[in-house]
Amino acid sequence: MALLMMILPGCGAVDRVVNLSTSYDTHFEQNEFEIKDKTLTSRWQTKAAQAAVISKDKTNKKDYDNAEEVLLVNNETNEMIVSQNIFERTYPASTTKIMTALLALENLNLDDEVTISHDITFDDSAAVSMGLKKGDKISVEALLNALIVMSANDAGVALAEAVAGSEDKFVDMMNERAQELGATGTHFANPHGLHEKDHYTTAYDLYLIFKEVAKHNEYFDIAGKANSYIEYTSASGQLRAYDMSSTDEYLTGEYALPNQVSFVGGKTGTTTEAGACLVLMTENKDGDEFISVVMKADNHPALYQTMNEVVAKENE
């Protein structure tokens, strides 16, 4: 975390982002478990308006052998409970879509109708896609369901263009928003997470971004679904339907959370380069919220085994 950012008030519709000279290490020494109001952006209005911090030298360890970056934070107290290599650069895969969803929720209404301006295709034949075509008409709510539940990459492109007019402009918004949230170890190159070398993040940055989307109940209304059914209209006026299953194997029943840990919502991600990834919000037996991040697990069994070991600490 190199720099914290702030927005100066009174700059009109488009606020200007200003660098502060406060380094992450200096910030930690001064504040430990809270961030001073003066370093927060006016748009950082999370449930606690604070974020967990930890000295970098306490994160360079390998407690979990089957994943590279691992994090657990009590979202009520902002206590950092687990921190393994959380500032190391990593590829986010489809956890990218957390930021895409955040910007969509901040800039669009769920009942807005989006008209697809071109066939949305990808060079990667394995890329998950709804197959959206030019002229299709679909609601923002349906696109968010496709984005979060089935991790449809074309839904990410469609939302990006609906928000910003083009994918490139939306990517600029993603990077600006990341800086505003203090996610200074992140650089986005697309709205979906298909691999690009200059598309990267950290486990800590994903925590910051996910903490921000947590103020939108609409996200968890969708992210808590094991299945979702959506409808939209083709250019010819034909009604189309899509019945989708979640990519989260906690929701689909392949894996179960530890006793007295309850699922709230999250986002998966998997590519060859990123490994298996999961960002998750859960509640412990007392109803306290926790955010957990596991990045670059060796495979899906390793991902869920590691996540279970992490979230079990919520009740200790």
Q: Which residues are catalytic?
A: 94, 97, 151
Q: What's the distance, CA 109 to chain centroid?
A: 19
Torsion of CA 76, 48, 293, 205, to 10 degrees: -150
Q: Give the number of residues written for the chain.
A: 316
CB 290 within 8 A of CB 74: yes
Helices (H), the chain: 24-31, 97-107, 140-148, 153-164, 167-180, 203-213, 217-223, 300-311
Cα separation values, 176 from 5, 17, 106, 186, Å: 10, 8, 14, 10
Burial of 12 (0-12, 13-18, 19+ CB in 10 A): exposed
SS3 call for 222: helix
Q: Are strands 137-139 and 113-115 parallel, antiparallel or unpaired?
A: antiparallel
The beta strand positions in the chain, using DSSP E, are 5-7, 17-19, 69-74, 79-84, 113-115, 137-139, 227-233, 239-245, 262-271, 275-283, 289-297
231 DSSP assignment = E
Cα–Cα distance measured from residue 296 to residue 93, given in angstroms and rounded to the nearest whole number: 10
Cα–Cα distance measured from residue 153 to residue 141, given in angstroms and rounded to the nearest whole number: 15
Dihedral sign for Cα atoms in the order 156, 158, 162, 168? positive
Cα–Cα distance measured from residue 308 to residue 10, given in angstroms and rounded to the nearest whole number: 46
- Cβ neighbours of residue 110 under 8 Å, at least 6 residues apart? 139, 140, 141, 144, 218
